[in-house]
Amino acid sequence: METHAGQLFLQITQSPDLCEFLGLKDYMGVMYVITLVEKVVPVSDEHVKVTEDTFDGVDVVLYQPNVQEAGTNLRRAVIYLHGGGWCLGSPRMSPYDLLARKIVTELDAVVLSVDYRLAPPHHFPIPYEDVYRVVKHLFRKEVLAQYSVDPERVAVSGDSAGGNLAAAVSQQLRKEPGQPIKLKAQALIYPVLQALDLNTPSYQQNQNMPILPRTLMVRFWSEYFTTDKALFRAMMANTHNSPESSILLKFVNWSTFLPETYHKKYNYSAPAISQGAEREAASMEEPSRSFADPRASPLLVPDADLRFLPKAYILTCEYDVLRDDGIMYATRLRAAGVAVTHEHYTSGFHGAVMFTVWPTDFLIARRMISNYIKWLMENL
């Protein structure tokens, strides 16, 4: 019987703390069991051809329509980036394998699923840099020709931390002088987009929700930057901002960018600013610069940097600490003139699209994936 990753999350998100306390294994080492249990060996079938390759030193899994003779028509492509808080996950997990096959068969598209390196062994910006290198490699003329990809019909997409990486890459490609690559679309599924304010209404409302409680999301953020527990403690208290990062808080002010219906009972209070002597450890200084980096927190850019970004699809869920990140990004992108489709699921929860494998094959997951692929069909 196959056990679903979401079901495992419910059972063991609390146990890693105990294991770490007892010295048995580090927290993320225990959590990685989820990835291992869900792993499959992607194989070709009558509809989909699956190959594994390395793009500029980064492992990728390629899914293509399985046709006997290569046609002359170029295909659209989706670069997919898995979730898992930059610490967990793999393209070879069964829900991602199934999603890639569905995109291939319904869109007649090529799917490039990226196996970027994970924290804590590989802290920011390594996962981001892996993804950026893969995108640039795909757009090499010989690679586009090899996989029959139309360079004008390429989207970057991902869920959770993968949505973060997709948004960051979309921005950075636009910033690079003389960059010829033009992504047509970005599709972000409950993305995580900022590390400056971890007390937005959705962080407070859903702090104890299964799958992704606030403690786990903060742990993911801190592990992305450093193994020093001082940062985790400061982020839990929302006192991790330095005077340098505080000037960027205006870009994540939820009282401004979050529609009132999502304010709920909460009142805005700007995160505390820690001065040098108050910071718990000198080793927090480098991570504090990292979480103010837009490659880690794509919401932290001025409006001018949002203009001319590719059209966006943003999926958010009511029962998700990351809900407000996605909604604020949709608000800011629209204000900057970007075409945005925002789908909010009032009964949705973080990680829902992973619930496609028996015995947790949920209707809401099927609905989300159906709407997501429909948007790609119409916009890519």
Q: What are phi and psi of 110, to 5 degrees?
A: -100, 135
- Give the strand pairing for 185-189 and 48-55: unpaired
Tell whether the model's pLDDT for residue 167 goes beyond 50.
Answer: yes
Asked whether the beta carbons of 263 and 319 are under 8 A apart, the reply is no
Q: How far apart are CA 226 and CA 219, in angstroms?
A: 10
Tell whether the model's pLDDT for residue 279 goes beyond 90.
Answer: no
How sure is the predictor about 3, in pLDDT bands with cuts at 50, 70 and 90?
Answer: very low
Tell whether the model's pLDDT for residue 185 goes beyond 90.
Answer: yes
From residue 360, how far is each of 2, 4, 32, 95, 363 by CA, in Å? 10, 7, 20, 11, 9
* Residues acting as catalytic residues: 160, 320, 350
> Is residue 252 within a helix (H) or strand (E), and if so which, with residue range?
none
How sure is the predictor about 29, in pLDDT bands with cuts at 50, 70 and 90?
Answer: low
Let me know how many helices (H) and strands (E) the chain has, helices first: 17, 10
Judged by average pLDDT, the poorest of 158-172, 267-281, 295-309 is: 267-281
Quick one: pLDDT at residue 289?
74
Q: How far apart are CA 314 and CA 22, in angstroms?
A: 41
How sure is the predictor about 242, in pLDDT bands with cuts at 50, 70 and 90?
Answer: confident
How sure is the predictor about 78, in pLDDT bands with cuts at 50, 70 and 90?
Answer: very high
> Is residue 191 within a helix (H) or strand (E), and if so which, with residue range?
none
DSSP E strands in the chain: the ranges are 48-55, 58-65, 75-81, 110-115, 149-159, 185-189, 311-319, 340-349, 356-357, 360-361
The answer for 68, left when phi > 0, alpha when psi is -120 to 50, beta otherwise, is alpha
Quick one: pLDDT at residue 228?
87
Tell whether the model's pLDDT for residue 17 goes beyond 90.
Answer: no
Quick one: pLDDT at residue 288?
64
Give the list of residues 6+ apart from residue 140 with CB closer than 8 angstroms, or none.
none
Tell whether the model's pLDDT for residue 221 goes beyond 80.
Answer: yes
For 300-341, write each residue's pLDDT tens digit.
999 999 999 999 999 999 999 999 999 999 999 999 999 999
For 111-128, write each residue's pLDDT tens digit.
999 999 999 999 999 999
